[in-house]
Chains A and B, each alone.
Chain A
Amino acid sequence: ETGVTQSPTHLIKTRGQQVTLRCSSQSGHNTVSWYQQALGQGPQFIFQYYREEENGRGNFPPRFSGLQFPNYSSELNVNALELDDSALYLCASSLEAGVNTGELFFGEGSRLTVL
């Protein structure tokens, strides 16, 4: 069974730049969620994609956007990077869209540093 993989694992950007993070979901999973985790904090929900449609969004500005592809892999794009965007970005896949129905399988994350 293929786990959740994320790339890149680490990257450094400067303020104002744009970044794309990628995630391959676990085999058989059709739902991908993205979370931002600042140091010493719990994850913050960015959005969720179910069958290529965004079906839930947290309190993040529009410069955070995403995509899900027919093979259920996903991208997170962040435009106009700010210093506070420095964090660990976690992708999680699940069998269905509802959080009540099962567990989230997390990738190892992409650590973004904005200088």
Chain B
Amino acid sequence: QKEVEQNSGPLSVPEGAIASLNCTYSDRGSQSFFWYRQYSGKSPELIMFIYSNGDKEDGRFTAQLNKASQYVSLLIRDSQPSDSATYLCAVSGSNYQLIWGAGTKLIIKP
């Protein structure tokens, strides 16, 4: 059973601080890695994707991938209350599917 694991949280971070979200995956054959944000009662929206080992930055967001450790993370700098949401890690699997973690609930405290 191919799995993606995330800490369910909630992760509470003060406004303006760095939020660090982590994800591990079991399938060494996975090639693509995604972070989606989901507000309560809404559908997921893509934040970042990363394909290669290392860091990828986009504005306040940085995705980090370590294939040897089967680990992917998302850093959010200068956290804002609007960043409060559930963050879902998704990993490419076979059959054109994405395999999803259960998500980490992030709370940014003003």
Known contacts A103-B49, A106-B43; A43 and B96 CB within 8 A of each other: no
Count of chain A residues with a beta carbon within 8 Å of a chain B beta carbon: 24
Residue A8, interface by CB 8 Å: no
Chain B residues with CB below 8 A from A108, complex form: 42-43
Instruction: Assess the B96–A104 pair: CB atoms within 8 A.
Output: no
Instruction: Assess the B46–A103 pair: CB atoms within 8 A.
Output: yes
Residue of A nearest to B8 (CB): A40
Instruction: Assess the B96–A55 pair: CB atoms within 8 A.
Output: yes
CA distance A90 to B34 in the complex (A): 17
CA distance A48 to B34 in the complex (A): 18
Residue of A nearest to B47 (CB): A103
Which of the residues A43, A56, A100, A104 comes within 8 Å of B31, measured between beta carbons? Answer: A100
Known contacts A90-B43, A100-B32, A108-B42; A48 and B96 CB within 8 A of each other: yes
Instruction: Assess the B43–A99 pair: CB atoms within 8 A.
Output: no
Residue B82, interface by CB 8 Å: no
Chain B residues with CB below 8 A from A33, complex form: 96-97
Instruction: Assess the B102–A41 pair: CB atoms within 8 A.
Output: yes
Shortest distance from the beta carbon of A35 to any chain B beta carbon, whole Å: 8
Residue of A nearest to B101 (CB): A42
Shortest distance from the beta carbon of A36 to any chain B beta carbon, whole Å: 11
Which of the residues A48, A107, A109 comes within 8 Å of B97, measured between beta carbons? Answer: A48
Instruction: Assess the B88–A97 pair: CB atoms within 8 A.
Output: no
> Other CB < 8 Å A-B pairs besides A45-B98, A106-B45, 18 of them?
A41-B102, A42-B4, A42-B100, A42-B103, A43-B44, A43-B88, A50-B96, A56-B95, A57-B95, A90-B43, A98-B96, A99-B96, A99-B97, A100-B92, A103-B46, A104-B46, A106-B43, A108-B43
Q: Which residues of B contact A (CB under 8 A)?
A: 4, 8, 31-32, 34, 42-46, 49, 51, 88, 90, 92-93, 95-103
Q: Which 3 A-B pairs have the closest CB atoms?
A: A42-B100, A45-B97, A56-B96
Q: Which residues of A contact B (CB under 8 A)?
A: 33, 40-45, 48, 50, 55-58, 90, 97-100, 103-104, 106-109
